[in-house]
Chains A and B, each alone.
Chain A
Amino acid sequence: MKIKRKIGLISCSGEGLPEGMISRVATRRILEERDDVVTICLPLFLAGGQEERDFAKDNPCITVDGCNKMCAAKGVQMYGKVHPKSSIVISDIAEKHKHLKPKSKSTIEPQDEKLVKETMKRITEEINRAEEEEE
């Protein structure tokens, strides 16, 4: 019997920009809603051992990055030696919906909820697609 792998969801959680907070909150909310996804703290790729580095090999990953530096996506490639299944970039979503651009890096303001929800929608679509490919 084939053991179904869980989908890895990796957020950049970047501290330096508002989009990092959006990536963190949207990712965490999905993790709390679903039991078919797992995560790893991104800096643990470097600080952890082989088990942490193998996370991306063991779980098809979806990365959620705040900006186009794409730390989460690059981290998966650097340490896991694999490409993410898909990569979501918050600044791209905000660019597409200009009124959604977040302003605070330390809190989620009421007006940021739309961007969080839009990001969660994108994450959910990518999870469902990855799971279909896994079957």
Chain B
Amino acid sequence: MSDKKKSKYIIIPCSGIGKALGTITRRATYIVTEELLPNDTDSICLPLLTIEDEETVRKIRENPCITLDGCIAQCAKKNVEHHHGELKGSIRILDVIKENPKLKPGTVLDIGPDGEKLARKAAEKTLKIIGDKG
């Protein structure tokens, strides 16, 4: 039996504070890491990557990562790429909205029922990436 510690998928939301879409990335991350796949996934504080925290950089290099971004700046994806993390997939909430045009997110502080549905769609996409990559 291998002694190698089983790697977990690291789910990284942008958590943008300027738009509801940032809150949706955050909500989607908790749906995956706390409800759907708590044993196989984990998250990090994205700001720790921004300030180049050594332990956090090591974690994203040693584990597969999936990023969730609210806007076109794609902060989560770019922060992972900048630090040469093992990026397995990236999800843009703007794409999730395009695929579900009837769902209108609420506000940053309250994404509302449609925002919750969008977060669940984003969480499903995250699970699909994990399933596809194995």
Which positions 36-67 of chain A face chain B at CB distance < 8 Å? Answer: 39, 41-48, 66
Interface size grouping (class) on chain A? 20 to 34
Q: Is the CB of A42 within 8 A of B50?
A: yes
| Residues on the A chain within 8 Å of B36, using CB | none
| B52-75 Cβ-contact flags toward A at 8 Å (1 or 0) | 110000000000000000000111
Complex contacts, A17 vs chain B, CB 8 Å: 45
Q: Are B47 and A71 neighbours in the complex by a CB distance under 8 Å? A: yes
Cβ of B90 within 8 Å of any chain A Cβ, yes or no, is no
Give Cα A87 to B73, complex, Å.
26
Question: Known contacts A24-B17, A69-B53, A75-B50: does B44 contact A47 (CB below 8 Å)?
Answer: no
Task: Answer yes or no: A91 CB below 8 A from chain B CBs.
Answer: no
A110 within 8 A of B: no
**Selected contact of B17 from candidates A15, A39, A47, CB within 8 Å:** A39
**CA separation between A39 and B19, bound complex, in Å?**
12
Please indicate the chain A residues that have their CB under 8 angstroms from the CB of B13 in the complex.
15
C-alpha spacing A12/B17, complex, angstroms: 10
Cα–Cα distance between A106 and B47 once the two chains are bound (Å): 17
Find out whether the CB atom of B45 lies under 8 angstroms from the CB atom of A20: yes
In the bound complex, residues from chain A placing their C-beta under 8 Å from that of B1 are: none
Determine the distance from Cα of A42 to Cα of B27 in the docked complex, in whole angstroms: 18
Cα A78 to Cα B51 with chains together (Å): 7
Mask of B8-27 contacts with A, CB within 8 angstroms, 1/0? 00001111111000100011
Contact of A47 among B34, B43, B45, B79 (CB under 8 A): B79
Give complex CA distance A24, B45 in Å: 13
A22 to nearest B CB, angstroms?
13
Instruction: Tell me the smallest distance from the CB of A38 to a CB of chain B, in Å.
Output: 10
> Within 8 Å of chain A (Cβ to Cβ): is B46?
yes
Decide if A44 touches B75 in the complex (CB within 8 Å). Answer: yes
* Chain A residues within an 8 Å CB radius of B48: 14, 16, 69, 71
Supply 8 further A-B pairs (C-beta < 8 A) apart from A32-B109, A46-B49, A105-B30.
A15-B29, A17-B45, A41-B75, A43-B78, A48-B73, A69-B51, A72-B47, A78-B51
